[in-house]
Chains A and B, each alone.
Chain A
Amino acid sequence: MSKNRQTNRTRRRVLAAGGAGVALSALGFPTVLRAQGAAPKVGVILPLTGVLAFPGVATRKGTELGIKMLAEQGTRLEVIYADTESKAENGRVAAEKLIRDGCTILVGAWDSGATISAAQAAEAAKVPLVVNVGSAPQITEQGFTQVFRNFMRSDQIVSRGAGLFKNMLGGGFQPKTAVMLHVNDTFGQAVAGATKGAWQKAGIDIRILETISYDARARDLSVEVAKARATGADLVAPVTRVNDAILIVREMVKQDYNPMAIYGPSSPGPYEKAFTDALGKYANDYLVSVPWYDPNRALTKRVLDRWTKEFPNDRFELNSGFGWEGMLVVADAVKRAQSSKPADLHAALRRTRIEDHIMYGGPIEFDPKGQNPNIGVPMLQVQNQQPMVVAPADVAQAKPVLPMRRWSERS
């Protein structure tokens, strides 16, 4: 009994000491001195764990490759990562921690909530924040002075996509009606909401018969797909992430629902390796319009080659692409600023103009709100289980297959 109590007490003491140590080191004073003039430290905030870990890690891989390739060209960046655990409210503390550790420029934060939260800290400390991925309009509409976004607003992605889609209509491909399926989360609602208006504006004469939403955690979409099938729509327009895109196609195959096309207006998912691996031949012919790399540029080809060597099991896509470009934007500003002071980097970012980059669109530059207005949106179609650019013509890698082939006619 008494011995027991003693060990108990010892344990307690160890625990208390451990706790104190924890508190001290986590809150300890910065051990790193801020060296001015040397290579600046770059803080990268991403959701590396939690529900957003999958795209977060893809972005990180692109970021890492960017750092490596830019270093080989002479711009060395010291990068510190911070994980938001997919919690929006962690953005602020993550940013403050990176700033504390000497970062004079921040990159992040993949999701809009964490980005806004991080922007609060960046704004207070006057440290520039380069947004690599994050599509909520508010990021550049709330009056932040430190934000530079090299990504597109969700509403613009949708409207550009609508323009492209309009040009594909004609000939044997003239759907009259559509049914929309969308995941009911921040992103799904925004995109679905913007689509109708964007189609009208683009002059697309397709009537949306029904809009069916489903929970982000749905495991089965048979009912939703059956409902969509019952409308008899010529076009299925899903706004999805990866898993639900797979579920929808599987159900369509099972229920032998053969519309003229499946077109996702801004959907991350169909271009993912997980999608094409899971669905094989049934993944083919799926259309989606998202910001994407320009496959014809020399720089893109170099990046793709290098990516295949470094990450042979992963596909280079939107997230890794903008992760890579985030580093390009930072390296470019650092080179021109010749300084690691936040204010100098901020001034340099303002004057950004990068002609040679990898994502489809014009030169990277930032308008007074900090938005890059020159990002383009191509149309992708899965062909031979690879996402291929099929429009616009000047960057197309392949011709679109339309209307899509029946499920039963695939081999």
Chain B
Amino acid sequence: MKRAHAAAAAFLAVLALVPAAADDFQLSVLALIFLFAYIGIAWNLMMGYAGQLSLGHALYIGVGAYTVAILAERYGVTPWLGMPVAFALCAALAALTGALGFRFAVRGVYFALLTIAFAEFTRIVFEHWEFVGKTGGFFLRALGPDNRPWSSLRGDATFFYYALLCTLALGWALSAALVSSRIGYEWRAIREDEDAARAIGVRAFRMKVLAASISGGLTGIAGGWFALLGGSLFPETVLGMRMSIDVIIAPIVGGLGSLSGPILGAFIVVPLNELSRDLAQHFNINGLNFLIYGALLMMIVLFAPHGLWPPIARLLRLHRWK
């Protein structure tokens, strides 16, 4: 345990110093890595710990993004407040989605289908809802010269680097506290065998709703960052199926059921994506990047079916580091 904490502290220290030596592009890629690692951790609480597969996390990305953006742009509410609102709203939505599914004992793939249905339903609602700009999208105003990043939560690459690093660190810390608490044990018991878990007193329904709700809430905050980073929101891009898939690749590649897996996964997946795009550009073949990216992902899944973190943890003798 000590060894792991020391490693984590050293890792954080190195990351804090990176901006001194990196350019904007590198910082942006790193910021994206942090963002995807954070979402991966949030999604993994539900999948990797509580064993509930969600293929509809775009719902929380989208709702979080629109919440933060609309509050800021239309009502002048600082994202400092918008983020907690996004968290609360998404946590409530996730609790509702989860409660509906779990109450009627929808399990496994069928639960996953239900999560897709909720996300798609929301996307369609947003595409027809005047208030959020329909398919025309929602846009944030350009930053003026008097912008103060730590108050508007928007800024340059260095700002987003630190902001997302903090988000990741906080998300990690909260999740670490959760999974090492009673709740984490109960989640993992449900993941392994829900009926056996209930027989030894695990309140499965409550715990699953809790997992969904925390996962959804944390993902809502990530959605807020999506809005602040890009400045433009469309139902199709933030609420679409593609988003739901994009955010689960890192935790799957890194390994489910650990907090380090999604982080490692994001550090592999995001740069891999950039690199394959570079190669496609270099050889001037559109779409080559998808081939390379897909092939590499396939190799990882083939050779490390449980993700890359478990073998690496063994190598570093960190196997107790969950």
Decide whether A and B assemble into one complex. Answer: yes
Report Cα–Cα, A125/B290, bound state, in Å.
Answer: 29
Partner of B139 from A26, A85, A96, A142 at Cβ < 8 Å: A142
The answer on a CB contact under 8 Å between B26 and A27 is: yes
B180 close to chain A: CB less than 8 A: no
Q: Scan B280-304; emit 1 where CB is below 8 A from any A CB, else 0.
A: 1100001101100000100110011
* Partner-binding segment picked from A113-121, A243-251, A276-284, A403-411: A113-121
Closest residue of B by beta carbon distance from A117: B230
Q: In the assembly, what is the distance between CA of A144 and CA of B157, in Å? A: 17
25 contacts between A and B (CB under 8 A): A16-B312, A23-B267, A26-B275, A27-B29, A27-B271, A27-B274, A49-B280, A49-B287, A49-B290, A85-B277, A89-B229, A89-B237, A93-B25, A96-B28, A112-B137, A116-B232, A120-B143, A121-B28, A125-B156, A143-B141, A143-B142, A185-B236, A186-B135, A189-B134, A189-B136
Q: Besides the contacts A96-B28, A124-B143, what 20 more A-B pairs have beta carbons closer than 8 Å?
A: A15-B303, A16-B312, A19-B268, A23-B268, A27-B30, A27-B274, A29-B26, A49-B280, A49-B287, A82-B277, A85-B277, A89-B230, A100-B24, A101-B25, A116-B139, A116-B230, A142-B142, A145-B142, A186-B137, A188-B135
A187 to B28, CA, bound (A): 29
Let me know if A53 and B286 touch, CB within 8 A: yes
Binding site for A on B (CB under 8 A): 22-26, 28-30, 32, 127, 134-137, 139-144, 155-157, 226, 229-232, 234, 236-237, 242, 267-268, 271-272, 274-275, 277-278, 280-281, 286-287, 289-290, 296, 299-300, 303-304, 308, 311-312
- Whether A25 lies near B303 (C-beta < 8 A) is no
- Interface pair B286/A142, CB less than 8 Å apart: no
Selected from B140, B226, B290, B308, the residue in CB contact (under 8 A) with A89 is B226
Chain A residues with Cβ below 8 Å from B24 are 96, 99-100, 121, 124-125
Which chain A positions have C-beta within 8 A of B300?
Answer: 15
Residues of chain A having any CB pair with chain B under 8 Å: 8, 11-12, 15-16, 18-19, 22-23, 25-27, 29-30, 48-49, 53, 57, 80-83, 85, 87-89, 91-93, 96-97, 99-101, 112-113, 116-117, 119-121, 123-125, 136, 138, 142-145, 184-186, 188-190
Q: Are B137's CB and A26's CB within 8 A?
A: no
Complex A-B, nearest 4 residue pairs according to Cβ-Cβ distance, in ascending order: A100-B25, A116-B232, A26-B275, A143-B142
A25 to B276, CA, bound (A): 11
Say yes or no: B136 contacts A190, CB within 8 Å. Answer: yes
| Inter-chain residue pair count (beta carbon < 8 A) | 157
Given the complex, which residues of A lie within 8 Å of B230, measured CB to CB?
A: 88-89, 91-92, 113, 116-117, 120
Residues of B within 8 A of A57 (CB): 286
A89 vs B141: C-alpha distance when bound (angstroms): 16
Q: Which residues of A lie under 8 Å from residue B231 when comparing CB positions? A: 116-117, 119-120, 142
Judge whether B28 and A92 touch: CB under 8 Å.
Answer: yes
Contact B299 A15 (CB under 8 A): yes
Query: How far, in whole Å, are A184 and B235 apart by their CA atoms in the complex?
Result: 12
Complex contact A48–B286 (CB within 8 A): yes
Min CB distance, B231 to chain A, in Å?
A: 5
Cβ contact within 8 Å between A124 and B157: yes
Q: Which A residues are in CB contact (< 8 Å) with B23?
A: 29-30, 100
**Would A92 and B229 be within 8 Å (CB), given that A11-B303, A26-B275, A185-B135 are in contact?**
yes
B278, A88: Cβ atoms closer than 8 Å:
no
Task: For the complex, give the distance between the alpha carbons of A92 and B275 in Å.
Answer: 16
Is the beta-carbon distance between B226 and A124 smaller than 8 angstroms? no
- Report which of B25, B136, B226, B289 forms a contact with A99, defined as CB distance below 8 A: B25
